[in-house]
Amino acid sequence: MPFSDYKTALVTGASSGIGAAVVERFRREGLEVHALARGAAALADLAERTGCVAHAIDVTDTAALARLAGEVEFDILVNNAGVDRPKSFLNADDGDIDLLIDVNLRAVLHLCRLIVPGMVARDRGHVVNISSIAGAYNFGGNSTYHATKAAVSMLSRQLRVDAFSRRVRVTEICPGRVATDIFAHVHGDSPEIRERFLDGFELPEANDIAEAIAFAVAAPVAVNIGHMEITPTLQVPGGLSTARAPEWGAKPTPST
């Protein structure tokens, strides 16, 4: 469906990074874009710059989401808000688990519950779920994050089953490392963190992800682009490790 067939969009996690880039890209297409995030000041700046409609709402506030969904019929929903608390699951905290489930999964489920039925009734709509390569590949220290992103991946597929026979399209975007401020949010903004995750790496920018989303949305109505995995050219997910069987009480010795 070309952008001209859509009028309104809701983008979560819109105050910075990929979310802000998507808001800017959609506004260039003339959509009425509702930008949702916790940071009121950053949203105000985005609204002044782009003309979007700002909503300073926490995605875990289901009642507030329900009020917004009851006021506006959204043609496009971009579930972008997400958090991480990297640590081994052996050291997981209950608060970290609850936070990741609430933001990364529960909010996505509720927004789809609130908005997708209207898309089905109107025979028009597009859901874009920003997942992660963490939904398909394992790497250390992100167990709950992996679990929530894998759930979003399955939800994305299931939404197409539930909306079958209607022109409601669903696209899952699975980024690898992207040059955004998420690393500062998760690990703290410091020269050491920028050096560890950003400096010297050739990485996609937030605008690159926004362009990929625009490509999926602008595809002809008969085309559903269901899944995009977007990684740096110089990043390869995956790997295999095997540990020797330890003596009882001894730590295993890993080998690759």
220: domain CATH number is 3.40.50.720
pLDDT digits (tens, 9 = 90+) for 3-54: 889 999 999 999 999 999 999 999 999 999 999 999 999 999 999 999 999 9
Domain total in the chain: 1
pLDDT digits (tens, 9 = 90+) for 118-152: 999 999 999 999 999 999 998 877 899 999 999 99
- Do 15 and 38 meet the contact criterion of CB atoms below 8 Å apart? yes
Average pLDDT over residues 84-92: 86
- 3-state DSSP call for residue 172? strand
pLDDT digits (tens, 9 = 90+) for 219-252: 999 999 999 999 999 888 887 788 888 777 666 6
Task: Give the domain extent around 15.
Answer: 3-255
Please pick, among 6, 26, 74, 145, the residue that the annotation labels catalytic.
145
Tell me whether residue 6 is one of the annotated catalytic residues: no
Question: Can you give the pLDDT at residue 179?
Answer: 85
User: Which are the contacts of 253, defined by CB distance < 8 A and separation ≥ 6?
Assistant: 243, 244, 246
Question: Can you give the pLDDT at residue 185?
Answer: 54
